[in-house]
Chain A
Amino acid sequence: EAGVAQSPRYKIIEKRQSVAFWCNPISGHATLYWYQQILGQGPKLLIQFQNNGVVDDSQLPKDRFSAERLKGVDSTLKIQPAKLEDSAVYLCASRSNRKTKREGSGELFFGEGSRLTVL
C-alpha cells in the first residue's frame, strides 16, 4: 500500500520568494493535515481538510500561507512571500474515516516531509 507522498523533499529559497509543496495522501483517506515542524519542536497544525473542505485553519498565517485540496485528494501548500522564520519541515498527514484493524481509531500517516530553508 502506497504511503503519503510529498514533494519536493528539499527546497532552498530566498526571503520574499514563493514556494509550493504538494501532498498526495493515502488512497481513500478523507482527512488531510498540513503541519509545520521547526527544528527541535513537535509538529504544529497549519490546516486540516475533510475531503475538499477546510475543517481547521485557525493557525494558518493567512497573510502568506494558503492551501487547497480542490478535488478532495491531492493538496498543495503555498507560502508567498516567505520569511526567514518559515524555515521548517512541512509534514503532510492523512487519516481514514474508517476504523480498520490496521488503522485503528484515527491513525495518522505522515509523509516524509518537505524541508524548507529560507535564506
Chain B
Amino acid sequence: KNQVEQSPQSLIILEGKNCTLQCNYTVSPFSNLRWYKQDTGRGPVSLTIMTFSENTKSNGRYTATLDADTKQSSLHITASQLSDSASYICVVTGPGTYKYIFGTGTRLKVLA
C-alpha cells in the first residue's frame, strides 16, 4: 500500500535553532517528492521538489534530502524563525496520472 509517514508529529524549538523533519514512504514506483509548508488557515505552499536522481535541494534556509534507496527524505530548517511555525507536509508522487500521496504532516512551533 502506498503510504507516506512523517515524524515527529509535532515539534517545539526555540528561535534560531535548527531542526530536521523526517519523511518515510512506501510509494512505488516513485516519481518525485515534495515538501510543502502550510501556515495555519492557509493552503499548502511548495518548498522543494526532488526527483529520484536528486539527493539534496535547498530553498533558502530549507534543505531537503532524499535517499531513494531507503525511501527516506528529510527537511532541515536552519536558524529557525518565528515565521517557520507551520505544518510541513511531505508529498510523494508516482508516475502516470499524478496521484499525490500526502503525509500527515509535522506541526512545528518556533518560540521566541
Q: Which residues of B contact A111 (CB under 8 A)?
A: 43
Chain A residues, Cβ within 8 Å of B49: 104-105, 107
B97 within 8 A of partner (CB): yes
Classify chain B's interface size: 20 to 34
A-B contact count (CB 8 A): 54
Cα distance A93–B102 when bound, in Å?
Answer: 13
> Is the contact region of chain B dominated by helix, strand, or loop, or is it mixed?
strand
Complex Cα gap A90–B109 (Å): 24
Surface stretch bound by B, among A11-19, A38-46, A60-68: A38-46
Docked-complex contact A91 and B98, CB < 8 angstroms: no
- Is A31 at the interface (CB under 8 A from chain B)? yes
Output the nearest chain A residue to B102 by Cβ-Cβ distance: A42
Residues of chain B touching chain A, judged by Cβ–Cβ distance below 8 Å, are: 4, 31-32, 34, 41-46, 49, 51, 89, 91, 93, 97-100, 102-105, 107
- Asked if residues A4 and B43 are in contact (CB atoms below 8 Å), the reply is yes
Q: How far is the CB of A72 from chain B (nearest CB, A)?
A: 17
Chain A residue numbers with a CB within 8 Å of B42 are 112-113
Q: How many residues of A contact B (CB 8 A)?
A: 24
Q: Interface residues, chain A, CB within 8 Å of chain B?
A: 4, 31, 33, 40-45, 55-56, 91, 93, 95, 104-108, 110-113, 115
A42:B103 contact, CB within 8 angstroms: yes
A107 CA to B45 CA, complexed, in Å: 10
- Contact: A110 with B45, CB < 8 Å? yes
In the bound assembly, the distance between CA atoms of A113 and B42 in angstroms comes to 7
B49 closest partner in A (C-beta): A104
Q: Lowest 4 A-B CB distances belong to which pairs?
A: A110-B43, A42-B102, A42-B104, A106-B98
